[in-house]
Amino acid sequence: DAKTTQPPSMDCAEGRAANLPCNHSTISGNEYVYWYRQIHSQGPQYIIHGLKNNETNEMASLIITEDRKSSTLILPHATLRDTAVYYCIVRVIIQGAQKLVFGQGTRLTINP
C-alpha cells in the first residue's frame, strides 16, 4: 500500500487559506488520493479526492503535482470549525471495496 507523509501539525489564521501538503511518492497510476478530516473523536468526514487533475468542491481544492508524487489540500478561507486532524490517503481497491489506510495526519489549528 502506498504510504503518505504529512507534517504532524500546522497553524493557520482564521480567514486565511490553509494549505496542507502530502507526499505519496510510491503512488501507482490508478490509485486515487483521498482527503478526510476528523474533528475531535467524531467519525472521519470526507473532503475531496482526485486521480491526476486538480479538483475543487464546496469544501476545498486539491492540487496534485504532474508526477502525482505529492498533493496539497487547500481550505480557501479557514474558519475555527476547520480545526481538525486532516488525513491524506492513497486509496487501494480490494475486491471492489475501498481500503483506506489512515496515517497520523496533520493536526490543523485555526487561530482567531
CA distances from 49 to 30, 41, 63, 88 (A): 13, 22, 10, 9
Residue 8 binds to another protein (criterion: CB under 8 A): no
Residue 9 binds to another protein (criterion: CB under 8 A): no
CB 108 within 8 A of CB 85: yes
Q: Which of 44, 61, 63, 109 binds another protein (CB under 8 A)?
A: 44
Q: Which of 5, 26, 45, 65 binds another protein (CB under 8 A)?
A: 45
What is the per-residue binding string for another protein in 46-85, x denoting contact by CB under 8 A? x--x------------------------------------
- Kindly give, in sequence order, each residue whose CB lies less than 8 Å from that of residue 66, ignoring residues fewer than 6 positions away: none
Residue 41 binds to another protein (criterion: CB under 8 A): yes
C-alpha angle 57/60/66, rounded to 5°? 90
Strand partners, 71: 22, 64
- Single out the segment in contact with another protein by CB under 8 A; choices: 20-28, 58-66, 74-82, 98-106: 98-106
